[in-house]
Amino acid sequence: MKSKASLPSQGEARPSRCPDNSAFKQQKLPAWKPQLNIATVLSTFFLTGAFCLSVGVCLVLSANSVREVQIDYSDPCSDCSKLRENSSNWNKECHCSVNFTLKEDIAGDVFMYYGLQNFFQNHRRYMTSRSDAQLLGRSVNIQNSRCAPFATYRNGTPMAPCGAIANSMFNDTLDLFYNINSSVIQVPLLKTGNSWWTDKNVKFRNPNAYNLSAAFAGTARPPYWQKPVYLLDEEDERNSGYINDDFIVWMRVSAFATFRNLYRRVSRTRQFADGLPAGNYTVRIAYNFPVSKFKGRKHVILSTVVWSGGSNPFLGIAYLVSGTAATLMGLGITAVHVNLSKKKTYFQK
């Protein structure tokens, strides 16, 4: 509490709170101010509209040129889905297959995706249920992370990796076969190089140890996994653990309930040097990921890419809508200006 001696008397002038009278504090610095007139306004609207329309047309045509085949295997694998709904059957294998025909060749690089429908990854608690420090290979106290209830088991053993995202990782195995002249040829698929470079080399790291099993000693797999994290790729240790491409791709969650993730790339060798030839194909699935409880569906997508990306026309449509709106606004302003000019000329006469 201030004393009476510290308070200013009635005769004393109070200190001014106005900023200094300088060019900077009084905003008197020289600046460029656009002089708007009818010519500049209309040219801006029409040029913006022409630019957006041209870009939108290019993007839509590019998206339509993508060759894509989508195979829904939810119904053909319904028996396996029922088996997987019972958690006691987690160690039982179940296989199914789907046949399809390519009427035309798919030339160029061909990418295989798995698609999920009605699987919501954008829930706030689901998105934060992970430990980035653990995924960097650091020794952390998982109990203090946001991974609960998928952090530790009742006996205190930490889960590796922890969290709901990792626990729900897509784990169906998809193989593609080419049927020609009563023979079956397995299409070679590349399982590495499918994740972002920054994720593979910056955001994900395995703990330091002389081998992976020692690096993850004292940890246990998540409850819904069939094998520990250091056995995700038993053929290539450089693609196992936290730096497994399938795991990294899954950990980048989607904003929508229907999404697709890159699974494999077709290796351009032998009969597939130019892509996938026309003919009969079979997708064989080792079914492990049930979706019937949340009324979901699963797809296998074979697709090419172009300079603008995949077959999603959303960006092109957005440019077309923006260009159309700008052009219509310009036409509206032109009509208003012409109408006012006529009235002004009439009254001057």
Give the pLDDT confidence of 283-315 residue by residue, as tens digits.
999 999 989 888 899 999 999 988 888 888 899
Percent of the chain with pLDDT over 70: 95
Percent of the chain with pLDDT over 90: 64
Strands (E), 53-172: 68-72, 95-102, 106-107, 111-117
Both tokens of residue 63? 């998206």
Q: How far is CA 183 from CA 96, 267, 276, 283, in A?
A: 19, 20, 16, 15
Confidence of residue 141 (pLDDT cuts 50, 70, 90): confident
Helix orientation angle between 314-348 and 38-64, rounded to the nearest 10 degrees:
160
DSSP H/E element including 263: strand 259-266
Both tokens of residue 178? 């080419």
Q: What are phi and psi of 86, to 5 degrees?
A: -90, 115
The model's pLDDT over 28-37, given as tens digits with 9 standing for 90+, comes to: 878 777 788 8
Question: What mean pLDDT value characterizes the chain?
Answer: 89
The predicted pLDDT at position 8 comes to 55
Query: Which range (70-79, 121-130, 338-347) has the least confidence?
Result: 338-347
Query: Would you say 289 and 171 are in contact if contact means Cβ atoms under 8 Å apart?
Result: yes
**Res 265 pLDDT > 90:** yes
**What residues does each domain of the chain span?**
41-66+310-333, 69-304
Distance CA 150, CA 162 (A): 6
- Beta-bridged to residue 176, according to DSSP, are 283
Instruction: Return the half-sphere exposure (C-beta side, CA atoms, 13 A cut-off) of residue 320.
Output: 11
The model's pLDDT over 48-83, given as tens digits with 9 standing for 90+, comes to: 999 999 999 999 999 888 999 999 999 999 899 888
The model's pLDDT over 187-222, given as tens digits with 9 standing for 90+, comes to: 999 999 999 999 999 999 999 988 899 999 989 999
- Beta-bridged to residue 282, according to DSSP, are 99, 177
Distance CA 149, CA 129 (A): 9
Average pLDDT for residues 137-148, to the nearest whole number?
A: 87
Output the pTM of the full model: 0.81
- Beta-bridged to residue 276, according to DSSP, are 106
The predicted pLDDT at position 19 comes to 83
Confidence of residue 1 (pLDDT cuts 50, 70, 90): very low
Region of residue 59 (phi > 0: left; psi between -120 and 50: alpha; otherwise: beta): alpha
Closest alpha carbon to 242 in 272, 273, 207: 207
Find how far residue 44's CA is from the centre of its chain.
34
C-alpha triplet 178, 184, 188: angle, nearest 5°: 55
